[in-house]
Chains A and B, each alone.
Chain A
Amino acid sequence: MNKVVSNAEEAIRDIQDGMTLMLGGFGLCGIPENCIAALVKKGTKDLTCISNNAGVDDFGIGLMLQQKQVKKMISSYVGENAEFERQLLSGELEVELIPQGTLAERCRAGGAGIPAFYTPAGFGTEVAEGKEIRYFNGKPYLLEHWLKADFAIVKAWKGDATGNLIYKGTARNFNPMMATAGKITIAEVEELYPAGALDPNEIHTPGIFVQRIFQGNNYEKRIEQRTFLSE
């Protein structure tokens, strides 16, 4: 079983206009930089992108927004991006905002075959509008549905030829759930190994969820808030 492809261009070769993508990452941490660059180069458009954030003006999903490749964003927080704001206010871009925990769980549910679930987040707010409310032990919950994608694109630290993945630090974030919820899941990794090289005890995402894997290059790992102590 060998899922290795040569690069991002090959991995995204059949992503078509109008498809729904999941893209892992929190802010710019743990985003699939190589695949985003390849999508920008390819110019695929009318995409629905499910991602916790929308990048910044000149990095991450912000690069796809600049090229007007995104029709709709499904996110929890989109505040770092002026071009995003312009497109939203001008009506070029559609946005669905979802509580962060609900977004994570909807992706998890999509991958785990759970069509819907109840969560307390958003009860009594505009997020609850039009949704079924049910009480359990006297507390109100909303019915939320799974999310799935044509392609899930994730970033991991280490991976092997069978698609097993290990994440690093807080670059894990949405990547593990999104990896389970794509019809086709593409993983880009910093270090790619042959099968057997990674300790099975340490795998975060089992390879069954991953269809294509490649070793990315030139990771910039841009930092949004570079905070540090002076020595």
Chain B
Amino acid sequence: MLDKFGIAKRIAREVKDGYYVNLGIGIPTLVANYIPSHLSVMLQSENGLLGMGPFPFEKDIDPDLINAGKQTVTMIPGASLFSSADSFGMIRGEHVDLTILGAMEVSDKGDIANWKIPGKMVKGMGGAMDLVASAQNIIVAMQHCNKAGESKLLPECTLPLTGVKCVKKVVTELAVLDITEEGFVLLERAPGVTVEEIRERTAGRLVIKGDVPEMVL
């Protein structure tokens, strides 16, 4: 089984040289730490920054340079700055190669819910709906089950949707799964996790083809 760092590490293997990548808040943010340094990758922050770098040293903190999680950040050589309209133009116009975000629920059709729990305080969708509606390549980083032990990989989402038929791949602490017309296709098992455990914790349609290899991290 993976911890959140393991999930981030596995997702980092999906990042290719030359990619422009948007990382959501939470586990997706950690992916940046595991992108191999020989790859040339530009991180997009939807508040208007392409080429986001690591956190600054304390003496270099600039309140006018933050990421979409409102954290102080830096820029790498080749970075650029722009308005929110241009930023979402990049996103809607399918110029961003890979979007990685968290989710509360994902369905076996690729629907995603990650912005609202009815009856609780609603904080808003931020840029999530724009991202999932337009990105061609969306990977969800999430826990396989909620705190009550119930599967978050479902036949249908029960929470209000963020987008429909958009998620292509899910990486959890247990598995890597593609989402196709057939449902969740099990691609890899986390170290020490059996197919049976994954089957038990996946409520949506699960497709298992032949031997499922263990993840390489």
Within 8 A of A (CB), among B159-200: 160-165
Produce 1/0 per residue, A82-119, CB < 8 A to B.
Answer: 00010011000001010111111101100000000001
Within 8 A of A (CB), among B83-124: 83-85, 87-88, 91-92, 111, 121-124
Q: Is the CB of A79 within 8 A of B123?
A: yes
Contacts of A126 in B (CB 8 A): 160-161
| Stretch with Cβ within 8 A of B (4 or more), from A145-153, A172-180, A210-218 | A172-180
Contacts of A125 in B (CB 8 A): 129, 160-164
Q: Given A121-B92, A173-B47, A173-B83, is A226 in contact with B72 using a C-beta cutoff of 8 Å?
A: yes
Q: Given A120-B134, A126-B160, A227-B72, is A77 in contact with B55 using a C-beta cutoff of 8 Å?
A: no
Q: Is the CB of B84 within 8 A of A26?
A: yes
Contacts of A135 in B (CB 8 A): none
B208 interface residue (CB < 8 Å to A): no
Secondary structure class of chain B's binding surface, majority of residues: loop
| Stretch with Cβ within 8 A of B (4 or more), from A1-9, A14-22, A163-171, A194-202 | A163-171
Within 8 A of A (CB), among B50-95: 54-58, 60-73, 81-85, 87-88, 91-92
Contacts of B70 in A (CB 8 A): 26-29, 224-225
Q: Is the CB of B88 within 8 A of A225?
A: no
Which of the residues B56, B62, B64, B124 comes within 8 Å of A76, measured between beta carbons?
Answer: B124
User: What residue of chain A has the Cβ atom nearest to residue B165's Cβ?
Assistant: A124
Within 8 A of B (CB), among A185-231: 204, 221-231
Q: Is the CB of B127 within 8 A of A99?
A: yes
Contacts of A222 in B (CB 8 A): 63
Which of the residues B46, B64, B129, B162 comes within 8 Å of A171, measured between beta carbons?
Answer: B64
Q: Is the CB of B133 within 8 A of A26?
A: no
Complex Cα spacing A222 to B66, Å: 12
User: What residue of chain A has the Cβ atom nearest to residue B126's Cβ?
Assistant: A77
Complex Cα spacing A229 to B73, Å: 10
Contacts of A97 in B (CB 8 A): 122, 124-125
Q: Is the CB of B66 within 8 A of A27?
A: yes
Complex Cα spacing A30 to B3, Å: 36
Within 8 A of B (CB), among A7-56: 26-30, 52
Total cross-chain contacts (CB, 8 A): 174
Which of the residues B82, B125, B165 comes within 8 Å of A172, measured between beta carbons?
Answer: B82
Which of the residues B49, B92, B124 comes within 8 Å of A75, measured between beta carbons?
Answer: B124
Contacts of B122 in A (CB 8 A): 95, 97
Q: Is the CB of A100 within 8 A of B66?
A: no
B24 interface residue (CB < 8 Å to A): no
Which of the residues A75, A104, A167 comes within 8 Å of B85, measured between beta carbons?
Answer: A104
Contacts of A171 in B (CB 8 A): 64
User: What residue of chain A has the Cβ atom nearest to residue B122's Cβ?
Assistant: A97
B6 interface residue (CB < 8 Å to A): no
Q: Is the CB of A225 within 8 A of B71?
A: yes
Which of the residues A124, A172, A224 comes within 8 Å of B48, measured between beta carbons?
Answer: A172
User: What residue of chain A has the Cβ atom nearest to residue B47's Cβ?
Assistant: A26
Complex Cα spacing A165 to B122, Å: 35
A143 interface residue (CB < 8 Å to B): no
Contacts of B124 in A (CB 8 A): 75-79, 97
Q: Given A172-B82, A173-B48, is A124 in contact with B64 using a C-beta cutoff of 8 Å?
A: no
Report, nearest first, the 10 A-B pairs whose CB atoms are least far apart. A101-B88, A79-B123, A101-B130, A124-B164, A169-B64, A221-B63, A120-B133, A77-B124, A99-B129, A104-B84
B interface list, Cβ under 8 A from A: 45-49, 54-58, 60-73, 81-85, 87-88, 91-92, 111, 121-130, 133-134, 160-165
Query: Contacts A27-B70, A125-B160 given; 19 further ones with Cβ under 8 A?
Result: A29-B66, A29-B70, A97-B125, A101-B87, A102-B130, A105-B88, A119-B130, A120-B133, A121-B129, A125-B161, A172-B81, A173-B83, A174-B84, A225-B66, A225-B72, A227-B55, A229-B54, A229-B57, A231-B58
